A = this chain, B = another copy of it.
């Protein structure tokens, strides 16, 4: 697998994209993005499990009955959630406008939104924006970057990825972009993540692969424990790589799958690295559980603990909070068998070995925790399964950002 440094949603053959400001964000920041495939693409999609679903989520769940899609339009600055019937009408108008501008049917278009909840969507601005943006979309990496930039909210930078694998002598490419930052605690779905690929694959198999992939990628990250009303991940595959259709349980499929998982995991980790107010990237590895799901639950309990997050912000080796979080996760284990290690590129410290606290030097712990990337490794010695979760610390800046988000 080759990583394409400037890769993004325009990396695979036949995909165009672009981004612009259509006036939703007051400060002229980009707020409208389009992804377009030259041919209909078999599409997989996962959406939020939140009972309160934004209007665009309802639209996508409806139109995906036919999995062949050709365009995605995304606005930032307004989530079009809790906006009643007006919000639903706005999505339909947006899809209709996209269809007219691109020569498609409205149901060929996926719609996504992110931003403040409960404010009427200024749909006229989006409709005008589509007229402006459609003629400008292109297939360069810069076009992909413009699209990736237009979907951001409190993010501090674009999150893109592009990779290439060889299947049957054909170069198959996967590209993606995501936005994250706040209200990030995906559950069976995710924040906004859009992936494109020119692989030839049956949509049903793509959907299955996406579902499997999210469990150990987007579903293992958390910024603040809040599962959004607008979470969505889509993958469009247009088959233009020219490979024979991928079949499950083949070497070709495994090659593609490895790259596919890498793309989603990379986007998920980029979201965490840019978590609202984050100063640390925290990886929690849990080993030695009876089942993989137990390991996942334990790792997520640690990564979502406000007390663990604030301790790491303060670079304080308050490891008892890790044990506390494991303890209330709901998974049974024997505390007297647990081992715990904090590490970073500055070194490692063992805090607990087989349930016994190990004395450590505060200055060494401080050195380890002063790095940006921190690893917390827990071994329960109760089985052979493991899981990894990713999260960030909880800083003053997180409180600041979210204390006055709407202004």
Contact = CB atoms under 8 A, between A and B. Distances in A.
Interface residues of A, number: 68
Contacts of A306: 224-226, 306, 394, 398, 402
A325 to B, nearest CB: 7
B395 A328 contact: no
B224 A307 contact: yes
A327 B306 CA distance: 21
A335 B306 CA distance: 29
Nearest to A327: B52
A380 B179 CA distance: 32
Interface string A36-65: 000000000000011111000000000000
A340 to B, nearest CB: 9
Interface residues of A: mostly helix, strand, loop or mixed?
A: loop
Given A183-B324, A313-B399, A323-B118, A83 B50 contact: no
A138 B187 CA distance: 55
A328 B405 contact: no
Given A51-B326, A226-B325, A396-B396, A336 B403 contact: no
Interface of A: 49-53, 79, 81-84, 116-120, 182-183, 185, 187, 224-229, 304-307, 310-311, 313-314, 316, 318-321, 323-329, 331-333, 335-336, 351-352, 355-357, 394-396, 398-407
